[in-house]
Structures are given as structure tokens and as C-alpha cells.
Amino acid sequence: MGLTIYLNGEMVDQSNAKISVFDHGLLYGDGVFEGIRAYHGKIFQEDLHIKRLYQSAKAILIDIPLTPEQFKQAMYDTMAANNLSDAYIRAVVTRGVGDLGLDPRKCPKPTLFIIAASIQLYPEEFYQNGLEVITAATRQKPSDVISPRIKSCNYLNNILAKIEGIQAGCIETIMLNTKGEVAECTGDNIFLVVDGALKTPPPDAGILEGITRGVVIELAQQMGLEVQQVALTRFDVISADEVFLTGTAAEVIPVVKVDGRSIGDGTPGALTLKLLAKFRELTSK
């Protein structure tokens, strides 16, 4: 038996969780999604994730046929069907089944599916020893072309940047925007520690404002740290005292080498480890 998947209002076995080859999510990446964590039976920051999902859907004119409360309940039901209290949840809404043309009017009904599974994006040793990353040649999409606030199913440029990292022996890469400023990583936001303050790219750098990013900013401020959302360059990254990444799956993970250059003394920094501990304390409740 595989996982039990929520698909268009029904719970189906993984082997029967199928969508049409004419679904525009498959044909054109026409859809939106959220990656969400659950800890100890509670979906983490569920309201913020659901709000962003519905905002993304509204931005591309998809009407989700569930209320936000119904969608939340469907996520909990999917967890329960898989006997999971700690889980990674992928909630996806596509334009639905249409024809081979682009016209969204040919898709009368969205496709909804929810996957709840166990996940460990990075082995624990990386949290202890840190990641090595590179800067990708692939640039992030310009925010004046398509808003990065839309968490869409089209991740091709992120995948191309990911491939660059894999070919260089790294599992994550930093992406610059078209102005040459640091934007984000393929699946994570990025933070620097400089002289005891946190620096992170601002929304207009072309980033997805991650839910975990927001939580970490709040934790840092509670610790009395200054948090600056400012334009950053590759030089700022390689000369920082500490670097770390944040994301739903990654949580808070240190970076110890960028483009072959050690960050600080080449080991996870003290503030990074404090924020990781604070985040894990928060999610353990």
C-alpha cells in the first residue's frame, strides 16, 4: 500500500491518484501550490499558507471550490488517512482538464490534490556541519514579468538552477535577479549575518516571501537582533560572517561555503545555530 491522496474530494490510494494528460497543470504548469509542514498533529502556520494559496489562485483567476476552512480540514483528513502527525503536505490546485490550447475557459473545473508524507530534505549532518552552495548562472524571473508572490507550478528556472548545483556537487544554489542582486535559492530564502545583524533580500528583489522566512524574522527580533531587508550582492554573501537558508522543508540550515569560499571560519555560526534551536523549540510545542 502506498500513500492515501486527497484528489478532488475523495481519498484514493497512491496507485489510483491519477490526473488527465489534458490537465493544464501538466500541460502548461497552470496552477498553484503550497508546501506545508505539520508538527505533532498541528499544521504549522496553516492560516498563512492557506491565505497565500488562495491569493495565488486568485491572482491567476482560479476559483478554488472549497472554503479555506474546508481546505484546511482536507489537509488534516489527508494526514489522518496516512496516520501522520509529523508530515510534509503538498497542496496543489491546477486549472483542471481542458484541451491542447491555452484557453483557460476550456477548463471548467480545477483539479485539487493533497499529498501528506514524511520528508527529510537535508540529512541531519548538514544542520551540524553546514551546506556548500554555488551561485547559479540561471537568473530568477523578473518580478515585473510575473509576481514572485504567486507560488505557481512552473518552477523550470529553479530546476535549471538546481541542475547547476547538482553538476557542481551541491544540493542548493543561490539565484540572482536580472539586476545581479541576490534573490533567493532554488527552494529556500537566504539570510546573512553581518556584524550581529541579519540581512535578507527584500520582496522587490524578486523573492517568494517564505512563511518560514517570516517566522525567522520574528524570532530574530524577539532575540533583539536587527533585521534589514536590503539589496544584497554576491560579494555581500561571500564576505558575510554567517549565511543560512530558510524554508518549509529546510527549516533553518547553515551555509559554510559559497562558490568555494568559506563563510566565516567555515563552520555553522553561533547566531544561525541559536535561530535553528529557537525554530525547533517553536515547532516542538
CATH number of the structural domain spanning residue 167? 3.20.10.10
Q: For the chain, what is the mean pLDDT?
A: 96
pLDDT digits (tens, 9 = 90+) for 224-269: 999 999 999 999 999 999 999 999 999 999 999 999 999 999 999 9
Confidence of residue 121 (pLDDT cuts 50, 70, 90): confident
Mean pLDDT of 70-84: 98
pLDDT at 285: 83
Domains contained in the chain, number? 2
Mean pLDDT of 75-99: 98
* Catalytic-residue membership of 72: no
pLDDT at 20: 98
pLDDT at 1: 65
Per-residue pLDDT at 192 exceeds 70:
yes
pLDDT digits (tens, 9 = 90+) for 194-223: 999 999 999 999 999 999 999 999 999 999
108 and 131, same domain (yes or no): no
268 and 153, same domain (yes or no): yes
109 and 133, same domain (yes or no): no
Domain range enclosing 98: 4-117
The beta-carbon contacts of 184-189 under 8 Å, at least 24 apart in sequence, are 184/140, 184/208, 185/133, 185/245, 185/247, 186/136, 186/158, 186/159, 186/161, 186/162, 187/158, 187/162, 187/247, 187/249, 187/250, 188/245, 188/246, 188/247, 188/250, 188/253, 189/213, 189/245, 189/246, 189/247
Catalytic residue among 151, 162, 199, 278: 151
